[in-house]
Amino acid sequence: MALKCPECGSISHARTSAYEAPSVKRTWYQCRNLECSCTFIALESVERIMMKPQKVTDMENAGEQETTGRQPQTLNRYGSASKLSKRQQAPV
């Protein structure tokens, strides 16, 4: 992370950071301009979640998805030719 120095406008680099809250981060910056060398603290926070990941909270539902989602799949390109014979399969 880099931020412009509030004093001289040069790029400042993060020295260290700590989470203030799960969605708020406090970062200590130091200006890269040697003649300025301003250090300052900035807060970075999540403003808005645009799209949440789809979480499966219901365990029963998760089980159903597991079985329907893992149907045997055959790739169009290789078909049955790509299947391993019993001898080739890794021991379970």
> Minimum distance between the CB of residue 66 and Zn ion, rounded to whole angstroms?
55
Q: Tell me how far the alpha carbon of residue 79 is from its chain's centroid.
A: 35
Nearer to Zn ion, 41 or 50 (CB): 41
DSSP H stretches of helix in the chain? 59-69
Chain residues in the site for Zn ion (CB under 5 A): 5, 7-8, 10, 31, 33, 36, 38
- What φ, ψ does residue 65 adopt, rounded to 5°? -65, -35
**What is the closest distance, in whole angstroms, from the C-beta atom of residue 37 to Zn ion in the complex?**
7
Least Cβ distance, residue 3 to Zn ion (angstroms): 11
Q: Which amino acid is present at 46?
A: V
